[in-house]
Amino acid sequence: MKLRNTKNKLLSVLLSAAMLLPFAVVPISAEAVVVGSDTEWTVSDYYSSENRSLWIQSSGSSISVDSNAVNKLRTSFGKHESQVEVKVKFPKNKDDDYKKDYGKALFEKAVEHTGIPTQGDFIEYQMIGWYFEYSGSVENGQNYMNYKFVITYLTTAAQDKELDEKVSEIITSLNLGGKSDYQKVKAIYDYVCDNVVYDNVALMVAVYTPIYYPTGHSAYGALCKGTSVCQGYSAAMYRLLLTAGIDARIMSGTSHGESHAWNIVRLGDKYYLIDSTWDAGVDNYEYFLKSWKDFPDHDPEDKFKTASFKAEYPIASSSYDPGNDTEPTTPVSKPTGKSKIIGDVSGDGEVTSEDSLIVLRISVGLDKAAGSTKLYDVNADGSIDSEDSLQILRYSVGLSASDLIGTKIS
């Protein structure tokens, strides 16, 4: 029997330093002012991965924010942009606390779970840290706030592209077409547990030096290099499961008293707990598709204990029994080939994020194109790939995209 490669005494003692490690910079004070430009920018706190709870549970979460600004932020994060500015109309006479809460609310919405594999939890857990600057202006009697977000990522844009290609390669190799949701989840879990080992280097560097070892905490490290800590394991599972059409979330908290991350995954109308970090390298899984009562030594952050989260993501009261795998494959929209509008691959008369997901599934071999390839190859480069999916997604949220999208096939 294989030995669990993450459970030696040293790793158990030091695990807390390897997950959600603070970025090795000095946090910027909350009231600093940037000088040397025509505009004075007030700078927010620096939000590192150490205080992830703070930025997600901020009071800004109850603020209604500008959807166009959110879409711009979300797209910029997906493009790996380290700085992005948004400008929003703003009420008069709001104090600095409200302005900072609004900035935090913008971020929260931009990393909100959407079901798109490269958004939501994936992009949030791809960041080392971030802060924003804000300044006010008045134009034609209208108050505006300008927010400039500065983000540090775990990976480079080139590594992100390599990861995109690796995800497509893995999903294609698993031959998931026609399989039940359980079979898809099991195949993906098996792949990660068999092919990713715990990154002791990232752990030791984190504990004994001030240097941050970013790829060891990323899905890129897990899938492209075959080694990561729990943050990378859970981000890799999230990315692969959503690409396969299975809803999942990353859940962070503590395990065995130390900082840790794992996933929840949907089968049928319930969610189940999985921890590929602790199950990596063993013959008999202990943390696969469990209920809370069968998932010991895992305590999630408070945000996962709220009534609203529990209602949206109900955890099954009993662990999943694969012997009763009668759950059908999750219904997903299929390419119909009936539309004459480029990008409208579902044939419902509109170009939406659902069309983006369909094209993504086709690009990794989970579905086949129907009708004219012009419907799917929206950038007309001769292939149906993840770039076409991204262009459709950008179009669906009102951002610049291929000029062909939304036009009729000639």
pLDDT of residue 330: 55
Domains and CATH numbers, the chain: 31-153 (no CATH), 157-324 (3.10.620), 332-410 (1.10.1330.10)
pLDDT of residue 166: 94
Report the alpha-carbon distance of residue 280 to residue 106 in Å, rounded. 36
Query: Is the pLDDT assigned to residue 375 strictly greater than 80?
Result: yes
Mean pLDDT of 4-15: 34
Report the alpha-carbon distance of residue 248 to residue 266 in Å, rounded. 6
pLDDT of residue 238: 97
Query: Is the pLDDT assigned to residue 288 strictly greater than 90?
Result: yes
pLDDT of residue 349: 85
CA-based nearest residue to 240, from 180, 312, 184: 184
Query: Is the pLDDT assigned to residue 127 strictly greater than 80?
Result: yes
Which tokens sit at 44?
Answer: 């927010």
Query: Is the pLDDT assigned to residue 111 strictly greater than 80?
Result: yes
Are residues 263 and 277 in contact, defined by beta-carbon separation less than 8 angstroms?
A: no
Query: Is the pLDDT assigned to residue 208 strictly greater than 70?
Result: no
Mean pLDDT of 328-357: 76
Report the alpha-carbon distance of residue 65 to residue 108 in Å, rounded. 10
Mean pLDDT of 389-405: 77
Out of 159-173, 204-218, 228-242, 339-353, which region has the weakest mean confidence (pLDDT)? Answer: 204-218
How many helices and strands (H and E) does the chain possess? 14, 12
Higher pLDDT, 143 or 35: 143
Q: Give percent of the chain above pLDDT 90.
A: 43
pLDDT of residue 205: 59
Mean pLDDT of 3-24: 34
Q: DSSP code of 408?
A: B
pLDDT of residue 369: 83
Mean residue pLDDT of the chain comes to: 80
Higher pLDDT, 131 or 292: 292
H helical segments located in 149-262: 157-174, 181-195, 200-208, 219-220, 230-243
Out of 29-33, 353-357, 394-398, which region has the weakest mean confidence (pLDDT)? Answer: 29-33
> Residue 124 — very low, low, confident or very high, per pLDDT cuts 50/70/90?
very high
Query: Is the pLDDT assigned to residue 259 strictly greater than 50?
Result: yes
> Residue 267 — very low, low, confident or very high, per pLDDT cuts 50/70/90?
very high
Residue 85 pairs with which residues in a beta bridge?
148
What are the C-alpha distances in Å from 48 to residues 44, 109, 129, 294, 382?
Answer: 12, 18, 4, 32, 42
Contacts of 339 (CB under 8 A, 6+ apart): 345, 346, 347, 348, 349, 371, 375
Whose structure tokens read 């305590």?
Answer: 299
Mean pLDDT of 77-102: 90
pLDDT of residue 27: 30
Report the alpha-carbon distance of residue 198 to residue 92 in Å, rounded. 52
**Residue-wise pLDDT tens digits, 21-53:** 333 322 333 333 232 334 455 666 666 554 444
Report the alpha-carbon distance of residue 107 to residue 102 in Å, rounded. 9
**Residue 283 amino acid letter:** D
pLDDT of residue 58: 42
**Residue-wise pLDDT tens digits, 217-244:** 899 999 999 999 999 999 999 999 999 9
Contacts of 272 (CB under 8 A, 6+ apart): 264, 265, 266, 289, 290, 291, 315, 316, 319, 320
Report the alpha-carbon distance of residue 187 to residue 210 in Å, rounded. 38
pLDDT of residue 47: 62
Angle at 69 between CA 64 and CA 72, to 5 degrees: 140
Are residues 380 and 370 in contact, defined by beta-carbon separation less than 8 angstroms?
A: no
Out of 142-146, 200-204, 360-364, which region has the weakest mean confidence (pLDDT)? Answer: 200-204
Q: DSSP code of 409?
A: P
pLDDT of residue 32: 30
> Residue 206 — very low, low, confident or very high, per pLDDT cuts 50/70/90?
low
Higher pLDDT, 383 or 50: 383
Out of 4-8, 210-214, 229-233, 329-333, which region has the weakest mean confidence (pLDDT)? Answer: 4-8
